[in-house]
Structure 1
């Protein structure tokens, strides 16, 4: 047992361990009460359904004595949970030291996690609903190669979360720059002031609601209602469970989308792009530009009249589950107009590698057919894809690989050439008959698949050879910017102030 209690003592100096806020045991007891209320509500519903005829008899059994007994039991259980939470809080601590971030907890079953500086991928602040109301939060740290859940440091007060996040990001920047990382006093950490964060995007609530109504999920629910009405009128057999599933699933997805995207705001700061979003759970996320490998810009059919676009990014170090979640629900920018899209792209890409980047983006977003920059498939590709073949196309240079596709649901993919992992050609049976093939630019998991469809075999072979040369050259010249180069290009300066714990 003595050996288990000493977890981390060999790698963490004495006195470096820090405690979480004292309200943590109370929050654990509150979680118990929340679960109890939800469970009690469900049981009450079942009880009313099963014993509605005998409800008067059960009401008569509710006397002051039994109410007092029930309240006493609940109070006793609450105190037990509060005591258990207090004991667990005493054994829960974390440390920020030159070797990385250390976290330990557990009384009988010990848990110890160590994240090295070179493995940290993202640092986020999360505030769930009740924590947000009372001004608390947690710092979530994602690490490359972690098979477990991210390390979550909380509960802490909101200002402590900001201070801790800044401390971790500063240590991470020092580690990437090859500087020595020194232990810092948590009460004297330099924190970037809000004035140093330049807002480049904010999602209006009206646009969020309007774009949600015009997405596929909302129209699936609407279609389900129409089909249910037709079913009732034609067959007269009541509401089909299949239609109900369609409606409920679409409504739930729309609610999740609105809750996650509400109030999305994007800043440029010293640490990179910083986003803040969420209704019931406020998430603050820092995204260094070096971790962005590709950008996807999409426009659903019904958004075209308003010229709205959605921006998603492929991020290095993001787990497959996070990539799937971000691909289905979340987005860096849920809904932006053309001006906002161009402004955000200008913060991510130093250049698109042409003498007229604005013309290239115009061709990618709005044009179809052969253009000045974008190459399109041959006419025989329409036998396989009669609708989208006139829209599909690509453009490649040493800086980016751009893909355009989608007749009704437009999509543009912009890929950093130095982040391309490999290139391959594929050919299906119908493509073989027509002498066509597709090129696959292999990337990390994310919203960009890097597929160029239905071009002549000779053209794809030539593009394959060109891509191998372009990606090799891009890595040699380091197309992607470092964080220092990125800050210099955007004119960001380090302006900090000292904050103390009592501030």
Structure 2
């Protein structure tokens, strides 16, 4: 991916997708692309409401400032003038005869805002060719970003609540590299769905032969149809209506989402905090209870955000890859391209164990460190073990650990019986409880590791995604002839470290893994995962 702030090249006039497509074909457009798709090599503009949607907080701040300064005037309209209206800017303007000047100032400010918004929209355009996705924007400082199709890791569609009401969506194209993302904000919702499919089709190596979309149809059916579409979207069972065309492998009940959020260490901390404040109020002053108000707002925001983000969850296999969607008000829908998972972890927190709940999270390239820590990396927010197994079977390809995913319950319950090399008995002095449940194996083109007793976890790392391998042995571990084996992939939430492995076994596994990594890389299908039209579904 590249950023270019000063490219002096002839720029074609962008096509306004609201008015239709241009008839002149761009030289970069692939010949196989259908003329009705947005991936036609032409420059297109984003949603006309983009300046407002991106600067919504700024406009709300202006409105709040006006209301705060004219509150006395607004009150007098309904209840009559107050006793003290001195300092009212409206009274001052009227008394000094500056009404015309004030009107010109307001008109000038409005004109400036409208003009700037129009220019920012005109200068914000994108195009999709047979090789890349490009975005250029900026009025004073121009930027030109490019994402190569053969480096795409996934495509995500975000629909924040306010843009969702306008039928708009933000499309993020993730490529390899930290913060390697091209964001098209905002597009019409149907256009975003269609463009995502086209980008992933081109990235797979297939052509768009005869592909057509009705992306613009949604916005041309009148106000009534637009309102009906928004209501259906908000009331739909799926967070992403596109998943409805495919069989959802896993569903998460609302009660389970709420329960898993409440059964956590955050709730334990909240209970202890409330108990501490109650004791302080009893012993000291009752005013201490008012200090709970900010804490209650903080905890409430956390619970609300976590629950609404995980509701209406769905995951399905589509021809473009695995699609994961969730969200009640603001929705996130991501399509992960085949073979783009660098590591996957099945985890059971301690407090979830009585309920039999598990979560699945992944490490992907092209996601910033900040985003890696968000809930978007949890491809399964909460589910039973059979749900986790179904998710893994969708995410992992043959030769990337898929066979291990098919025996997930057995690997969790009896790792030694599934062929994993376990920690030696002498490791019990370093890990008294977990040594019986710590082991690893190389199978089906992946490294599989199992560890943990109270916090049980299973990690699968496809060998083709391993960047380096490391053995670590401290002075204490050297006494017991054990070592820790670590697989390095791209930065992410999944830690592929296997502690307390017999040192000779770890060395043998290390050299075996190195040989197989080289073999996997040579036999890998490459970045175009479906160049021969085999189909990714």
TM-score tier by shorter-chain length is: 0.7 to 0.9
The alignment partner of 2:435 has SS state of: coil
Q: Give 1:350-429 correspondences, 5 Å limit.
A: 350=397, 360-367=407-414, 370-429=416-475
Q: Give the Cα–Cα distance (whole angstroms) in 1 for the partners of residues 405 and 322 of structure 2.
A: 22
Q: Give 1:36-435 correspondences, 5 Å limit.
A: 36-37=62-63, 65=91, 77-145=109-177, 150-174=181-205, 196-233=245-282, 239=288, 251-326=300-375, 330-350=377-397, 360-367=407-414, 370-435=416-481
Instruction: Please report how far the alpha carbon of residue 426 of structure 1 lies from its aligned counterpart in structure 2 after TM superposition.
Output: 0.2
1:486/1:18 CA distance change after superposition, 3 Å: closer
Q: Which moved more, 1:204-213 or 1:16-25?
A: 16-25
Q: Give the Cα–Cα distance (whole angstroms) in 1 for the partners of residues 469 and 145 of structure 2.
A: 37
Instruction: Please report how far the alpha carbon of residue 334 of structure 1 lies from its aligned counterpart in structure 2 after TM superposition.
Output: 0.4
Instruction: Please report how far the alpha carbon of residue 41 of structure 1 lies from its aligned counterpart in structure 2 after TM superposition.
Output: 8.9
Instruction: Please report how far the alpha carbon of residue 139 of structure 1 lies from its aligned counterpart in structure 2 after TM superposition.
Output: 1.8
Whether the 8 Å CA contact 2:254–2:311 is kept in 1: the answer is yes
Whether the 8 Å CA contact 1:104–1:113 is kept in 2: the answer is yes
1:439 pairs with 2:485: yes
Instruction: Please report how far the alpha carbon of residue 283 of structure 1 lies from its aligned counterpart in structure 2 after TM superposition.
Output: 1.8
Q: Please give the per-residue CA displacement for 1:19-38, whole angstroms capped at 9, x wherever unaligned.
A: 22333345466443223356
The alignment partner of 2:370 has SS state of: helix
Q: Give the Cα–Cα distance (whole angstroms) in 1 for the partners of residues 497 and 263 of structure 2.
A: 27
The alignment partner of 1:21 has SS state of: coil
Q: Please give the per-residue CA displacement for 1:447-479, whole angstroms capped at 9, x wherever unaligned.
A: 222111012222222222232233334445549
1:391/1:35 CA distance change after superposition, 3 Å: farther
Q: Which moved more, 1:123-132 or 1:427-436?
A: 427-436
Whether the 8 Å CA contact 2:348–2:359 is kept in 1: the answer is yes
Q: Which moved more, 1:448-457 or 1:252-261?
A: 252-261
Whether the 8 Å CA contact 1:273–1:287 is kept in 2: the answer is yes
RMSD: 4.3
1:407/1:60 CA distance change after superposition, 3 Å: farther
> Please, which of 14, 18, 23 is the counterpart of residue 49 of structure 2?
23
User: What does residue 79 of structure 2 align with?
Assistant: none
Whether the 8 Å CA contact 1:293–1:315 is kept in 2: the answer is yes
User: What does residue 51 of structure 1 align with?
Assistant: none
Q: Give the Cα–Cα distance (whole angstroms) in 2 for the partners of residues 245 and 459 of structure 1.
A: 54
Q: Give the Cα–Cα distance (whole angstroms) in 1 for the partners of residues 323 and 362 of structure 2.
A: 13
Q: Give the Cα–Cα distance (whole angstroms) in 2 for the partners of residues 389 and 401 of structure 1.
A: 19
Name the TM-score, length of structure 1 as normaliser: 0.78
User: What does residue 225 of structure 2 align with?
Assistant: none
